Amino acid sequence: MTPAQRDLLICEFGRRLKLPYPMGLAEMLEEALEVYRKNFAILFGLALVPALVGTVFGAISNLWQTIPLGKGYEPLLIAAMVVSYILLLVTAFIGYGAQIWAVGQVIMGRPVSFWEAWVAVLKRSGALLLTMLLAFFPAVAGSVLCCVGVLVTGIIFMALIEQVILLEGVAYIRAISRHVQLVYPNWEWARVLGFYLASYLIFMVAQTLIGWGGMVSLFGLEIFREIFPLSTRFAFLLVGQLWQQLANALVMPYWSVFMTLLYFDLRARREAFDVQVLLERWEDLGR
């Protein structure tokens, strides 16, 4: 099959079969918005669970803003804040994973439910977290070079690692090797880096615009910490955390969709995965 014939097949049948096919940045951003819009309820619901849990962990991890550290209580309070911050990160990774799994099923045209997504990611949570921990070490090795170096190594080893683990069912060193195989060759990492930074910029701008109230609440807490009573300070902290977490829950699924589309884009470009799916669904064209 020549490249021209392949492009014709994809253009003709790709959208009709919900086919994961190669896309440019603008098309991928638009497609991500469309997928999120059509599946808003389930994706926002999946993001809302870690947002609400994260509000509690986030508030505990920032107690230093409300409670003065007194003698005898410092080690206990610091330990609680550190543990809460770690649990906040774990909750965020697992919640992001549930969105990725659901988006993967949607892109492949399969039915998906709220509970199926959580069951799928919780079954793989141990492998997910341990694999990400293993991938973290080669990723941060780029800091030996410079700031740009850690961006490159982070992209090569970690950018789409959750998609590989949850959608292909591999883990640990095999998952890291598979990720490098998809992202690294032929300067593909440079395109992935560009797409990643562009989408992250959009994500951060949207989150900042929506979550401004949470930042104002936390900023006000910092300014008037010595004036407000303890109950008022804690209320400011809780409101600020909740507002920011809800803003994150609203915006994060869009980024999950975009990054999962990017994963399928890489598979289509490097492995003709789109053509494989097209052949598997050929009989569906007549229905």
Sequence-distant (≥ 6) Cβ neighbours of residue 59 within 8 angstroms: 234, 237, 238, 241
Check residue 40 and give its pLDDT. Answer: 94
What share of the chain in percent tops pLDDT 70? 70
Per the CB < 8 A criterion, the answer to whether 180 and 192 are in contact is: no
Check residue 39 and give its pLDDT. Answer: 93
Q: Of 283, 287, 271, 261, which Cα lies nearest the Cα of 19?
A: 261
Distance CA 100, CA 259 (A): 8
Angle of helix 114-123 relative to helix 125-140, nearest 10 degrees, comes to 60
pTM reported for the whole predicted model:
0.83
Residues listed for the chain: 287
Sequence-distant (≥ 6) Cβ neighbours of residue 109 within 8 angstroms: 17, 18
Distance CA 245, CA 175 (A): 30
Distance CA 31, CA 72 (A): 55
Q: How would you write the pLDDT of the chain (287 residues) with one tens digit per residue?
A: 566 666 666 655 555 556 677 788 998 999 999 999 999 999 999 999 888 887 777 766 666 555 655 555 566 666 767 777 787 788 888 999 999 999 999 988 888 889 999 999 999 999 999 999 999 998 888 777 776 778 888 899 999 999 999 999 999 999 999 999 999 988 889 999 999 999 999 988 888 888 766 565 555 555 555 565 556 666 666 777 787 888 888 999 999 999 999 999 888 887 776 666 665 655 555 55
